[in-house]
Structure 1
Amino acid sequence: MDLTHPLTEDASVYPGDPKIELRPHATHEEDGYRVTDLSLGSHSGTHVDAPSHTEPDGKTLDEFDVSAFEFDARLVDCRGKSAREAIRVEDLPEDLPADADTATDTDLLVFHTDWSDHWTTEKYLDHPYLAPETARWCAEQNLSVGLDALNPDPTPTENASEEEPTGVPAHRALLGSNCLVVENLTNLDRLPERFEVRAYPLALAGASADGAPVRAVAEW
């Protein structure tokens, strides 16, 4: 099952990030072949965040073995959450491990909010988010996070409230513990509770590998 949004010019991006641009560079009519000039940010579309995204000394994507992007995943149903509502620890399934020493075959929690229905619209920016304590709990369990939204933290918009956390505490809790974050997933309504995810990033290297688009695919 493909969990990936296509990279199109109307794709939702974090406020201030580069927009995706697709321009013909060569055409069949003029050159006898086709090449497209792509312009996009490293966090465009369905993508994975490296620790270096928020952590000055964090690992870049090329410092992870490719197997790090293969996950045993568990779906967390958060479809009852409304715009800009926090996902709290008590919203997690009760049978998830209670501490870091508890054995588990899950290494990725995928939060299903149904917010991918708003992809390419302004409403997409007002998604539910992980409360800081929820992100810390995931990090303590060594659980990476995926979600069908732009951001595990609240995305700044004019609809933000004073009660919301500021900055990127969910990112920092997860990435600071070397837990990966896969953002902008889609088609989560077609998944069973447990499945496998492959989310291999583009092979960026060095400082530029703070994140990269992925082709995220689920199998079960």
Structure 2
Amino acid sequence: MCNACLIENVRKSAFSRRDFFRRSAAAGVAAVAAGAITARPALAQSSGQVVDLTWTLTPEFPTFDGNPGIMFESDKDYAADGYKIWKVTFYEHSGTHIDAPAHFAEGADSVDELAPESLMCPLCVLDITAKAAEEPNAMVEAEDIEAWISTNGDIPEGACVAMNSGWEEKMGSAAYRNDADGNFAFPGFAKSATDMLLEMGVASIGVDTLSLDPGNSADFAVHYSWLPAGRYGIENLKGLGQLPATGATLFVGAPKHEAGTGGPARVLAVV
């Protein structure tokens, strides 16, 4: 399916699901708020090692629609003005960035309305690098969540669950976004997994790819269920392979512009 057709189908579907979004968002916010208290004990376990999970945002950074996500224009210069200022224009969903509930749900929380407690939380890392090496559109499935819990214990309420697919190794090549035929191709979450995480009270999910849904998704099922439930997502993470499966604390430097559907973020993990 062409990019324009996919986006148009998403737009049409958004109108038909608007009432569902409004109902889900209210319930989701309460659940996240209830789970956010688990962030404080997670901080006490930290040894102080900081891992930066954020890519530097440049005009060349790959984006979903293929257009530059950020543009720079010199406003003040050292020679003429004695100091430097850039005028920066960016699209919200560029680089390492947040998807707020309002991205896919009219009337849901915008990025400036995210609960601060949900931006500092336990981090659980699911490794699907082996599966992604075999299948570019590999997904975190419900059975992957179950296997993680069997090995590592329960996922805390209010946590962020992040997918490590090893996709950051493709950064700088066309393969980060597309297959050899020019089709979207990258790993993401399956709805079976995010439905399970919703029931657990998880606050956010993260991916080291362009989208919460896999590249070959035709319906954005995860975006359409996760975000309207009052949760947020983080896309284009890096460095997840440096972290343990459990025990790290996530710090999300979310932007705070009015009515924002998301935005570039500085994301750090402390181990």
Normalising by structure 1, we get a TM-score of: 0.85
Q: Is the 8 A contact 1:127 1:154 kept in 2?
A: yes
CA positional deviation for 1:90: 1.4
Where does 1:41-190 land on structure 2 (aligned, <5 Å)? Answer: 41-80=91-130, 81=132, 82-94=135-147, 96=149, 104=156, 107-125=159-177, 126-143=185-202, 144-155=204-215, 160=216, 165-190=217-242
Query: What runs of 5+ residues in structure 2 fail to find an aligned partner?
Result: 1-50, 178-184
Q: Where does residue 265 of structure 2 map in the other structure?
A: 214
CA positional deviation for 1:203: 1.4
Larger radius of gyration: 2
Q: How many residues are treated as equivalent by the alignment?
A: 206
CA positional deviation for 1:94: 2.5
Q: Is the 8 A contact 2:157 2:200 kept in 1?
A: no
Question: Helix, strand or coil: the match of 1:74?
Answer: strand
Task: Give RMSD over aligned pairs.
Answer: 2.0
Paired with 1:87 and 1:17, the residues of 2 have a C-alpha distance of: 28
Paired with 1:192 and 1:105, the residues of 2 have a C-alpha distance of: 18
Paired with 1:170 and 1:96, the residues of 2 have a C-alpha distance of: 21
- Larger proportion of helix: 2
Query: 1:134 and 1:37, CA in 2 relative to 1: closer, same or farther beyond 3 A?
Result: same
Normalising by structure 2, we get a TM-score of: 0.70
One-letter amino acid of the counterpart of residue 205, structure 2 = V
Q: Where does residue 22 of structure 2 map in the other structure?
A: none
Identity %: 23
Question: Helix, strand or coil: the match of 1:52?
Answer: helix
Q: Is the 8 A contact 2:206 2:234 kept in 1?
A: yes
Query: What runs of 5+ residues in structure 1 fail to find an aligned partner?
Result: none
Q: Where does residue 26 of structure 1 map in the other structure?
A: 76
One-letter amino acid of the counterpart of residue 86, structure 2 = T
Q: Is the 8 A contact 2:94 2:264 kept in 1?
A: yes
Deviation readout 1:92-143 (Å, 9 max, x if unpaired):
243539xxxx883561111100111222432112211212222222222222
Paired with 1:15 and 1:103, the residues of 2 have a C-alpha distance of: 34
Say which of 41, 52, 66 aligns to 1:2.
52
Moved over 4 A (4+): none
CA positional deviation for 1:28: 0.9
Question: Helix, strand or coil: the match of 2:118?
Answer: helix
Q: Is the 8 A contact 2:188 2:207 kept in 1?
A: no
